[in-house]
């Protein structure tokens, strides 16, 4: 039983009303969610979509996205995942936002492959998933295949630009 002073002190919490309840019980008062601080930014890479129905551009976009994810994941200062095109084709339009929220993905890399007369081009953008705005974008005119080159200078340059934005100059 509570004394008069306890009644005047205010309402009891769920665990005080029911001593058998602990903080993990679904009936207890919920604690506010505080996301953990990630020491390494988590970025998701989407397959770069083809502009049109060109199967060669679709394959090229998937290969570039996979290689970019590998480069970013190899950096010890970052975490990177690839969201498959098969999953995205079957998912509803809002699924990507839900995935980013559930997995606490802070940034999303996406874009499009464009066919040109000589060589395909690639548009790449980095979006912040907390505010859904574009933080960085680049258009590799006629340079999509160069991103897959064995020496990897173009891919190394793109991964370096993304690293500077994600690790060295994170959003405030």
**Residues 139-150 pLDDT 10s:** 999 889 999 987
CATH superfamily for domain 42-168: TolB, N-terminal domain (3.40.50.10070)
**What residue spans define the domains of the chain?**
1-29, 42-168
Collect all residues with Cβ–Cβ distance below 8 Å to 89 and sequence separation of at least 6: none
Averaged pLDDT, 5-10: 48
Give the containing element (helix H, strand E) for 127. Answer: strand 121-128
3-state helix, strand, coil in the chain (%, to 5): 40, 20, 40
pLDDT, position 114: 92
Percent of the chain having pLDDT more than 70? 75
Would you state the structure tokens that stand for residue 27, as one six-digit string? 């009936």
If DSSP codes are grouped into helix, strand and coil, which group holds residue 44?
strand
Exposure string of 17-45, with b = 16+ CB inside 10 Å and e = fewer, is eeeebeeeeeeeeeeeeeeeeeeebbbbb
Would you state the structure tokens that stand for residue 134, as one six-digit string? 């574009």
Please determine, for residue 76, whether its predicted confidence score (pLDDT) is greater than 50: yes
Work out the pLDDT band at 40, boundaries 50, 70, 90. Answer: confident
Q: CA 95 to CA 89: how far, in whole Å?
A: 11
Q: Is the model more confident about 113 or about 14?
A: 113
pTM greater than 0.85 (yes/no): no
pLDDT digits 0-9 by tens, 100-140: 999 999 999 999 999 876 889 999 999 999 888 999 999 99
Please determine, for residue 36, whether its predicted confidence score (pLDDT) is greater than 60: no
Residue whose structure tokens are 């083809």: 50
pLDDT, position 35: 47
Averaged pLDDT, 13-24: 47
Averaged pLDDT, 23-50: 66
Least confident stretch, 22-31, 54-63, 98-107, 146-155: 22-31
């Amino acid at each position: 039983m509570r004394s008069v002073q306890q009644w005047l002190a205010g309402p009891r919490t769920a665990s005080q009303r029911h001593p058998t309840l602990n903080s993990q019980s679904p009936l207890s008062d919920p604690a506010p969610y505080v996301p953990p601080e990630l020491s390494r930014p988590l970025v998701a890479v989407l397959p770069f979509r083809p502009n049109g129905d060109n199967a060669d551009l679709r394959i090229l976009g998937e290969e570039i996205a996979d290689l970019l994810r590998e480069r970013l994941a190899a950096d010890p200062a970052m975490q990177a995942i690839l969201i498959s095109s098969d999953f995205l084709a079957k998912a509803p339009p809002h699924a990507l936002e839900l995935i980013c929220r559930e997995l606490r993905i802070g940034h999303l890399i996406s874009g499009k492959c464009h066919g040109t007369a000589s060589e395909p081009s690639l548009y790449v953008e980095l979006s912040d998933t907390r505010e859904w705005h574009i933080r960085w974008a680049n258009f590799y005119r006629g340079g999509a295949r160069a991103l897959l080159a064995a020496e990897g200078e173009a891919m190394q340059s793109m991964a370096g630009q993304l690293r500077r934005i994600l690790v060295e100059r994170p959003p405030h």
